[in-house]
Chain A
Amino acid sequence: MDTTTTEIMRKKNFNLTEDEFDTLCDQLKNGDESLFEKIFLAHFADCISFLKSKFRMQHEEAYDVTMETLLDFRVAIIRDKISYGNIRFLFTRMASQKYIRSQRKEIVTQEIHSDTDILMGGDEPAVDADDLIYLDKAWAKLGENCQQLLKSFYYDKVKLNEIAAYMEKSAPAARKQKERCLNLLRNNFIQILNH
């Protein structure tokens, strides 16, 4: 790749080369968020400006949409759903789609393609503030091994065989461990709810 092409690709990808983007992905998957935060938060304001000019949104609304897009994008990177190419464009398209969804508009503009659908979460979960308080308490009683395993599997969507490899265990052992951790968490919930 010549210098001009590299520069063009950098511009399209938040100033990252392909190697740098791969490093960012690897780091994020291994729990190191620093590069992701550095790169994406530096471009947060650009996305807000884009949303404000495109949809005439208020600042607060554009801020919230960008934040939610960032959270989805983070998970999408961990799940290998994002490839190097035109990340800047993909990010703003996801933000646009998130806004449109939030407005509950049924008409999706033609410029937003179905490939961003796969990156977005479904409906918002029906978790309320009390649930989160109970979860914090139940979670705090778990050991860090269990916390890490459950977070990796359910939140970061890491496959069980990858978790097993990281834990230096077999896949069935990791599955057993996950079940044990789930039961512990469930029992903690029961104790807290009956308290």
Chain B
Amino acid sequence: MKISKKFTDPNLTNEQRDQIMEDLLKSKFDSQLRDKYKTILSKEHGLSRSDGSTVATQSAAESESKNTKGKLYLVIGVVLALVALSLALFFSKGNGTEAVQTNKAQMYLAELSIDNKNVTRNSNDQRAPALIAATKAFNDGNYAEAIKQYALVDQLDNENLFFRSVANMKLGKYAEAENGFKVLQDQIKNGEAFKSETHVYLLLCLKLQNKDAEAASLAAAFKAGSWEAKEAQKLMK
């Protein structure tokens, strides 16, 4: 039986439940840390899993040989860097498709204006003060405060999860926003509020992170002529 299915068993003892929680969270957060550490090791220490060349295991002879060649490589490196810089400048002014695409997504995000008309109706609902504050902050454009207020709520419904994801997107936290929209994509049923927006904003998050293949695949699934498809065209063409 899958561990997630087991977790929903109402007959679990507290010890069994705690063990499952430990296992689940260990897998989740270890995996996130692994990815984070791998990125830092690769970017800041030039150390990757597949290539051991940067690890200090070279022999002294190899090191000496490298020193001798160092100056030559330096000159070649400088020349190549200048060429690359020139090319980058040329393409950024001309046909830099990726840069244009990202700018297009960023412009779309900058122009994106959406109000949270969420009304918390139940006065006995303990979440109400935080949700009201979050809604106000969101509508004032104070997205950091909105996120802070959402954090005070134990559980978010789809509508508030949607606005938290938009706030994350507005703050440039695209990965968090993407995660939220992906959850909503499954949770919101067809015909319910924010379904179409969720699709388009997920696409926007993907574009903003240059996840072009995933974005293209998502956009291809939009119904021809739909609002989603039209918005996607603005982002993808």
Shortest Cβ gap from B111 to chain A (Å):
27
Q: Are A130 and B56 in contact (CB under 8 A)?
A: no
- Is B133 at the interface (CB under 8 A from chain A)? no
Interface core residue of A74, A180, A186, A195 (most chain B CB under 10 Å): A186
Contact B17 A42 (CB under 8 A): no
Please determine whether A71 and B186 come into contact, CB atoms closer than 8 angstroms: no
**Binding-face segment, A11-19, A95-103, A109-117, A119-127:** A119-127
Which residues of chain B are near A26, meaning CB under 8 Å?
Answer: none
- CB of A145 within 8 A of CB of B153, answer yes
With A49-B56, A154-B22, A192-B186: A44-B2 Cβ-Cβ less than 8 Å:
no
The answer to whether B37 and A37 touch across the interface, beta carbons within 8 angstroms, is yes
* A103 and B3 alpha carbons, distance in the complex (Å): 26
A168 at the interface (CB under 8 A from B): no
Whether a CB of chain B sits under 8 angstroms from the CB of A140 is yes
Within 8 A of B (CB), among A116-163: 121, 125-128, 130-132, 134-137, 139-146, 150-151, 154-155
Give the distance to chain B from A66, nearest Cβ to Cβ, in Å: 10
B37 / chain A contacts, CB cutoff of 8 Å: 37, 41, 44, 67, 70
What A residues does B49 contact at CB under 8 A?
59-60, 63-64
* Distance, CA A128 to CA B5, complexed state (A): 12
Given contacts A52-B57, A144-B150, contact A60 B30 (CB under 8 A): no
Please judge, given known A-B contacts A130-B4, A132-B27, A150-B25, whether A44 and B154 are in contact too, CB under 8 Å: no
Contact of A184 among B7, B27, B51, B154 (CB under 8 A): B154
Q: Is the CB of B31 within 8 A of A74?
A: no
Q: Say which residue of A121, A139, A143, A182 sits within 8 Å of B26 (CB atoms).
A: A121
User: In the complex the two chains form, what is the Cα distance from A63 to B57 in whole Å?
Assistant: 14
Asked whether A184 lies within 8 Å of B155 as measured between CB atoms, the reply is yes
User: Given the complex of chains A and B, what is the CA–CA distance between A142 and B151 in angstroms?
Assistant: 9
Smallest Cβ-Cβ distance to B30: which chain A residue: A71
Instruction: Check B4 against A131 for contact (C-beta < 8 Å).
Output: yes
Write out the residue numbers on chain A whose beta carbons fall within 8 Å of the beta carbon of B52.
Answer: 48, 52, 59, 63
Contact status of A142 and B27, CB under 8 A, knowing A48-B55, A64-B49, A130-B2 = no
**Bound Cα distance A27, B31 (Å):** 21
Q: How many residues of B contact A (CB 8 A)?
A: 51
Q: Which of A71, A140, A143 contacts B153 (CB 8 A)?
A: A143
Query: Any chain B CB within 8 A of the CB of A189?
Result: yes
User: Does B152 have its Cβ within 8 Å of any Cβ on chain A?
Assistant: yes
Interface size of A as a range: 35 or more
Mostly helix, strand, loop or mixed at chain A's interface?
helix
**Which of chain B's residues have a CB closer than 8 A to the CB of A155?**
22, 25-26, 29
B2 touches A128 (CB 8 A): yes
**Contacting pair B155 A139 (CB below 8 A):** no
Residues in A neighbouring B21, C-beta threshold 8 A: 150, 154, 182
| B 4-30 to A, binary, CB cutoff 8 A, 1 in contact else 0 | 110110000000011001111111111
Q: Does B47 contact A (CB under 8 A)?
A: yes
CB of A60 within 8 A of CB of B28, answer no
Contact in complex: A126, B153 (CB < 8 Å)? no
Residues of B within 8 A of A (CB): 2-5, 7-8, 17-18, 21-31, 33-34, 36-38, 40-41, 44-45, 47, 49-52, 54-57, 150-156, 161, 179-180, 182-183, 186-187
Give 30 A-B contacts (CB < 8 Å), ordered by A residue: A41-B44, A42-B45, A44-B47, A52-B52, A60-B49, A63-B52, A121-B26, A125-B3, A125-B23, A125-B26, A126-B3, A127-B26, A127-B27, A131-B4, A132-B27, A134-B4, A136-B28, A136-B183, A137-B182, A137-B186, A140-B180, A140-B183, A141-B187, A145-B152, A154-B18, A154-B22, A154-B25, A155-B25, A182-B17, A192-B186
